[in-house]
Structure 1
Amino acid sequence: MIDPIAIQLGPLSIRWYALCIITGLLIAVFLAQKEASRKKILPDDVVDFILLAFPLALVGARLYYVIFSWDYYSQHLGEIVEIWNGGIAIYGGLLTGALVLYLFSKRKWINPLDFLDIAAPGVLLAQSLGRWGNFFNQEAYGAVVKHLDYLPAFIRNQMYIDGAYRQPTFLYESVWNLVGFVLIMTVRHRPQLLKRGEITAFYLIWYGFGRLLIEGMRTDSLMFAGLRVSQWLSAILIMLGIILILHQRRKKDTPYY
């Protein structure tokens, strides 16, 4: 098993999970800054947004997890703030980040869809990298399987949990997000193809569809009233993406990306 702690500096432990998230974040910021000028957005605005949104998104991701794990945390109130022990949900971070982006864009007189369009590809890549944090933590896995001979040994060994091999659902989602990133980066600059907001719509549909399927394989899903919360939210994202495309195509004055 791989040690989830990457670097130990005296009492300070730096986990692989944190390194995966920070690496994904930095790449996403870099990509958004490179693309910002196309939408007449200042690269510094991207940095200012991240400095505001990232800590708030972490809080949102933690609150989302705590809310849907309240049966446990209601009996362990002191652990609610112990984010270093695990327990964040990407959907909580995404929802918080989207709200902050909308408010930030309005304050800066930026069209929120333009900001979302330049950010979405990098977010997909960041999520692809972030899932490897789950790998190091041995979480976000699926049901027991007989073997994982089709995978490299380092993945196979890390997926041997509680005396059995587990479906590497973290890997499925990581690959799915990476493919989506490559696809949107390949087509987004083709002339007269995508309209404003359709890169965002692609993200909503692509990520939502992949998460909807893969979440059904996991054994650690957050539940509410007997249902998998992330699957319902994924379905909502897919519908929002479709509605956004139809709305933008229906408006005759919607500019191309």
Structure 2
Amino acid sequence: MNRYLFENLFGIQGFNIAWYGVIIAFGMLLGVALAAYRAKKNGYTTDLIFDYILIALSIAIISARIYYVVFEWESYADNIIKIFATREGGLAIYGGVIGGLLSAVIFCRIHKFPILKMIDLSIPSLILGQAIGRWGNFMNQEAYGEIITNPKLQFFPYGVYIDAVSEWHQATFFYESIWNLFIFVILMVIAHKKVKDGSLLAIYFIGYGTGRFFIEGLRTDSLYLFNMIRVSQLLSFLLVIGGLILMLLVKNGKLKMVDYTGKYLLKNKI
């Protein structure tokens, strides 16, 4: 399988466009379009989302890289310059999520927009982008699970054939993609109802954290803490706990809904 959609583009040697990048970009564009649609539907201008993306995109990518490098430091300790060689791979989705949330905090403080409203507008786009992005792992033949030795189980979507090792492995990238789509549907259904700010974030934390915890246990390329704890499983567990706490706080009215009257309201647009 060729991991590149275009090779030596415009006749420039080494100027390649990878399927992974195209798929990730498509997921981002679709996510932005969905967030803009939801913002307008909830009475805000699309500028709210576009202005946020200007901050979030760069921070999320940098955060995803930092996260990966920190937990794979032995691969970079002897050659620091490799940290900037992102074309070789090495972006962690949890780092991107952390960067996105940090961006939301920064954006909302600058523009005095309610943070939970902002996150709830964006969270369905995030999980949709994650579902689409996992197919980039398919094109790169990565993020797969344990080897499948039973010939009766050597079929897609249960398994995927990995050319590099000439073996069938569990298609964990596919499992997570489908699980994320399931969470996306739940979020969109609930979003149609009048729910308190923070509700969608809580559901995302619980839903994504639960699925990722179990699927991560099947993968063969996990990042480890102290060579014994899968980092993504630990964070998934913390996400679920945090989501349950957040849901209780929202349900009990401990987190108040904040009204917004600023420039991003549609009725304020001249």
Same fold per TM (> 0.5)? Answer: yes
What is the deviation of 1:190?
A: 2.6
Task: Return the index of the structure with the highest Cα Rg.
Answer: 2
Counterpart pick for 1:119 among 119, 122, 126: 122
How far, CA to CA, are the matches of 2:255 and 2:18 in structure 1?
A: 48
What is the deviation of 1:254?
A: 4.3
Contact kept? 1:41, 1:110, Cα under 8 Å: no
Q: Percent identity?
A: 39
CA 1:20–1:253: 2 relative to 1, 3 Å: closer
How far, CA to CA, are the matches of 1:129 and 1:164 in structure 2?
A: 25
Runs (4+) of structure 1 moved beyond 6 Å?
Answer: none
- 2:73 maps to which residue? 70
- Tell me, yes or no, if structure 1 residue 133 matches structure 2 residue 139: no
For residues 52-74 of structure 1, the C-alpha deviation after alignment (integer angstroms, 9 at most, x for no partner) is 21122111111110110011111
Contact kept? 2:116, 2:198, Cα under 8 Å: yes
- 1:82 maps to which residue? 85
How far, CA to CA, are the matches of 2:118 and 2:205 in structure 1?
A: 15
3-state SS of paired residue (2:221): coil
Counterpart pick for 2:190 among 166, 187, 205: 187
- 2:26 maps to which residue? 23
Amino acid at match of 1:245: M
For residues 21-43 of structure 1, the C-alpha deviation after alignment (integer angstroms, 9 at most, x for no partner) is 11111111111111113544321
- 1:203 maps to which residue? 204
CA 1:71–1:253: 2 relative to 1, 3 Å: closer
CA 1:252–1:83: 2 relative to 1, 3 Å: closer
How far, CA to CA, are the matches of 1:242 and 1:134 in structure 2?
A: 30
- Tell me, yes or no, if structure 1 residue 230 matches structure 2 residue 232: yes
Counterpart pick for 2:249 among 237, 247, 250: 247
What is the deviation of 1:160?
A: 4.5
- 2:6 maps to which residue? 7
How far, CA to CA, are the matches of 1:200 and 1:105 in structure 2?
A: 16
Structure 1 residues without counterparts, runs of 5 or longer: none
- Tell me, yes or no, if structure 1 residue 219 matches structure 2 residue 224: no
Amino acid at match of 1:250: N
User: How many pairs are equivalent?
Assistant: 251
Counterpart pick for 1:56 among 59, 62, 65: 59
Contact kept? 1:134, 1:170, Cα under 8 Å: yes
Amino acid at match of 2:79: H
Give the aligned CA root-mean-square deviation in angstroms: 2.0
How far, CA to CA, are the matches of 2:173 and 2:129 in structure 1?
A: 13
TM-score calculated relative to the size of structure 1: 0.91
3-state SS of paired residue (1:30): helix
